[in-house]
Amino acid sequence: MSQTATGPAERPYGRFFLPGPTEVHPEVLAAQTRPMMSHRGVNSQAFMRGVQDDLQEVFCTKRPVFIATSSATGLMEAAVRNAGRTKILSLTNGAFSERFAAIGRACGLEVDTYQVAWGETHDPDVLRAHLENGVYDAVTMAHSETSTGVLNDIQALATVVHDFPDTLVLVDSVTGFGAVELRPDDWGIDFVLTGSQKAFALPPGLSFGVPSARMMERAKEAPYRGYYFDLLLFQQNHEKDQSPTTPALSVLYSLEVQLTRMLAEGMEARWARHAEMAQRTWDWVDEMRGAGIPLQVMAPEGHRSPSVTTVLLPDGVSGPDVTDSVVDRGWLVGGGYGKLKSTTIRVGHMGDHTMDELNGLLAVLTGVLS
């Protein structure tokens, strides 16, 4: 099969500008055809050590980076299970931050929410007031809220939480990591997680979590930490360059190749490329408005995610009609999420996409919407 720079030439399912899964580079995809190896023993230990070194570099951390064979939601559950004893506070402003709260309840915890409308962000001073009025084991938040395209200032929010020493900071950075600056150690994030199929631009199947030392101490006394996502088991196995259970090896092979590619680009360059793609998308929305097609970026200026843009459609234009028309032209954008399904579309400008490809997509969208 012949291949282009960023994907197989034959794309039976279209060019992916979804907010996940994202398009996988052919070289990364091809790594999945390598033969299996045992996940116990010297070969896999050497392999895992190499992967771990690179993971620490891309996550800007000196902490271990745990790899779970699950989608990202699995590690959201791990975060809550290992940090929560009785009560957590969930900052909600969209579907995925609401999911964090739902997971907390499903795991038997009491969950309070500091809720703002979808598309808005949380005020650090209001967060402080919540923390002064309750005792919380942890605060959950989404870095890039993929339903609305809002980027939350997790660094500022974490700084407030640090004044409450018994409260841990748990961050879903599923569409943040790889697309925007993230420094778990410097920012004092106790657990940050992501999945393989978003800005990491890998096939789905793996998720990644970075725990602080405080998080690992807390896990020892967390009553609901369960088994599959018990971080103490992850730690014990990490020390032996192993995983607690059989990993999705084929995706790990892809990961090894993708880490090399990411480090060759450099994380700062990667963040800059995402910022440019996002800015181009927002400019396009303005251009469309200037041409009489009243599109709007849902997220407020200054609080926009560099990996995904949720676009509010003009009255009378249906989200599913737009996404279907884009599919007919051989491309894919995301539909609106949940209650935003009919009124928005989502452009996932993340992973290994280039500005040229994004411009190609925007030309298609212009045709569909004009």
Ligand X SMILES: *Cc1c(COP(=O)(O)O)cnc(C)c1O
Query: Site residues (CB under 6 A) for ligand X?
Result: 20, 71-73, 96, 142, 146, 172, 174-175, 195, 198
Nearer to ligand X, 17 or 364 (CB): 17
- In the complex, the smallest distance separating the C-beta of residue 361 from ligand X, rounded to whole angstroms, is 19
Residue type at 352 in one-letter notation: D
To ligand X, the closest distance from the beta carbon of 229 in angstroms equals 13
> Residue 333, SS3?
strand
Cβ proximity to ligand X, 20 vs 209, nearer residue: 20
Nearer to ligand X, 146 or 281 (CB): 146
Where does residue 36 rank: exposed (0-12), middle (13-18), buried (19+ CB within 10 A)?
Answer: exposed
Give the separation between CA 199 and CA 350, rounded to whole angstroms. 5
- Give least dist CB 76 to ligand X, A: 6
Query: Residue 111 pairs with which residues in a beta bridge?
Result: 88
Closest CB to ligand X among residues 72, 299 = 72
Residue 155 CB, shortest distance to ligand X, in Å, is 17
Taking the complex as a whole, the smallest distance from the CB of residue 267 to ligand X amounts, in Å, to 19
The minimum distance between CB 20 and ligand X, in angstroms, equals 5
Q: Enter the tokens of residue 337.
A: 């999420």
Q: What share of the chain is helix, strand, coil (3-state, %, to 5)?
A: 40, 15, 40
List CB contacts of 207: < 8 A, sequence separation 6 or more.
Answer: 67, 68, 70, 71, 72, 74, 75, 193, 194, 195, 196
For ligand X, give the closer residue by CB, 29 or 308: 308
Q: CA-CA distance, 237 to 320, in Å (whole number)?
A: 45
Element (H, E) at 92: strand 87-92
- Tell me: cis bond preceding 21? Omega within 30 of 0 counts: yes
What angle (nearest 5°) sits at the alpha carbon of residue 101, between those of residues 348 and 168?
95
Question: CA–CA separation, 368 vs 175, rounded Å?
Answer: 26
Nearest to ligand X of 198, 349 (CB atom):
198
Phi and psi at residue 16, to the nearest 5°: -85, 110
Is 103 or 297 the residue whose CB approaches ligand X more closely?
103
**CB closer to ligand X, 80 vs 368:** 80
Token readout for 46 is 């050497």
The encoded tokens of residue 104 equal 């907390």
Torsion, Cα 97 86 177 249, to 10 degrees, reads -110
Q: How far is the CB of 98 from ligand X (least distance, A)?
A: 10
Instruction: Give me the least distance between CB of 223 and ligand X, in Å please.
Output: 24
